[in-house]
Chain A
């Protein structure tokens, strides 16, 4: 496996990790909202939004750099 293919796999793995982290953060945020932990809910929803945007940007990095 050459370096480019390896780096491609690393990029795919980071992409999936960011997506899973975003989904988990959303779930934790909504769970915290149900438990009346509003600040934690906002924190997790913010983290989820940033992680999901990062995962999206990895699919089309050129548009994100504009």
Chain B
């Protein structure tokens, strides 16, 4: 339980770093490096620099004025980055992009978004939390031992799906692959977390017989598809 909220101006350095580092990382890989190449005009370089300044400015005032910081750190930063990409034009075509760098840049933008999501939950200036002091609350139940491996597997599978999409080199198929990879990753994470939470839960969802009967039809369909796959593989 939180005894009292920290003063807004004393936003911990770790919270600033949580936003600053992913933002810098994403900017460096996806905005900074492309504009540092030879032959790039002044326009994209100016917008890229503006994006960096907006990010640093937002981090300097995030403790005092969260709304203004959010405008600079999210809207201005993303707008300037997008403007840079638009001004780069053909310099940013898929033929000139490094796949690994692009994948790592995507990861950087994801971490940047999570970082700002975390900042959103911090107490804003002048609005301290009113929570009574006391002993920390004890959770009603603990996660089952199988839950962590299941979630870890889901995260790994989701990352592998995202990475495999970058192997597709045909342009039209690459768009489909990235869409399918994002959908697969989200589905695997969602279902994996639900299965992990259901392990060892005290709340009985349904009887085991009902649960097994629920997948009888789709299980038969899967068996049929598996058989067809075996026949297909044997005939090839």
Contacts and interface: CB of A to CB of B under 8 A. Distances in A.
Contacts of B213: 61
Interface string B33-65: 000000000000000000000000000000000
Nearest to A9: B208
B138 interface: no
B140 interface: no
B154 interface: yes
Dominant SS among interface residues on chain B: helix
A36 B208 contact: no
Interface in A7-49: 7-8, 10-12, 14-16, 18-20, 22-24, 26-27, 29-31, 33-36, 38, 43, 45-48
Interface residues of A, number: 45
B218 interface: yes
Given A34-B177, A36-B170, A54 B161 contact: no
Contacts, number: 124
B157 interface: yes
B143 to A, nearest CB: 14
A16 B210 contact: no
19 contacts: A7-B209, A11-B208, A11-B211, A15-B195, A16-B195, A18-B215, A23-B188, A38-B173, A50-B225, A51-B218, A52-B187, A54-B219, A54-B222, A55-B195, A56-B191, A56-B194, A58-B211, A60-B205, A61-B206
A14 B181 contact: no
B187 A65 contact: no
